[in-house]
Amino acid sequence: MALSSFDVVSTLDRQEADNALNQAAKELRQRYDFKNTGAEIEWRGELNVRLRANSEERAKAALDVFETKLVKRGISLKALEAGDPQQSGKEYLIDCTFSNGLSSEQAKKVGKLIRDEGPKGVKPQIQGDEVRVTSKSRDDLQDTIALLKAADVDFAMQFVNFR
């Protein structure tokens, strides 16, 4: 019998994140409570976003709008790390960073969780920034996915390449 497998990854769907950012920017331009406040949101590199507003409260409200749009687009907020508002001249800035890929500590945590609490025949294997999970039984793999979804971890996980 052939082995079945899937990969545990932590990737950012850049297109969905870009759509969420564009929707948030449009809302910041059109919403009445953001008119004439200088509230803006923009990409600052591949995985960095900067929010800008004329007060600390407006900057936090703009972050809330962006987070709402991310959730609606199916991006976990665990992938977003937002800093505190910092004053820069007359405006406040919030720098946000998206995480992409599992760190070695996160991969080890996933592997340990699968070994300790997962079904017996399931074997995790760390491969760079992802974890390949193999088993003879597809049912065991589905149980493992359910276990990982229910686990309380501080990073976003996706499950790909189920074969």
Domain boundaries, the chain: 4-11+102-160, 14-98
Fold agreement (4-11+102-160, 14-98): yes
Q: How far apart are CA 104 and CA 102, in angstroms?
A: 6
pTM comes to 0.85
pLDDT, one tens digit per residue, over 63-83 is 999 999 999 999 999 999 999
Architecture, CATH, for domain 14-98? 2-Layer Sandwich (3.30)
The total of other beta-carbon atoms located within 10 Å of residue 149's CB is 9
User: Mean pLDDT across the chain, nearest whole number?
Assistant: 90
pLDDT of residue 161: 87
Q: How far apart are CA 63 and CA 69, in angstroms?
A: 10
Task: Specify the fold of 4-11+102-160.
Answer: Alpha-Beta Plaits (3.30.70)
- Please give the average per-residue pLDDT across 130-155, as a whole number: 90
Q: Strand order in 123-127's β-sheet?
A: 123-127, 130-135, 4-9, 158-160
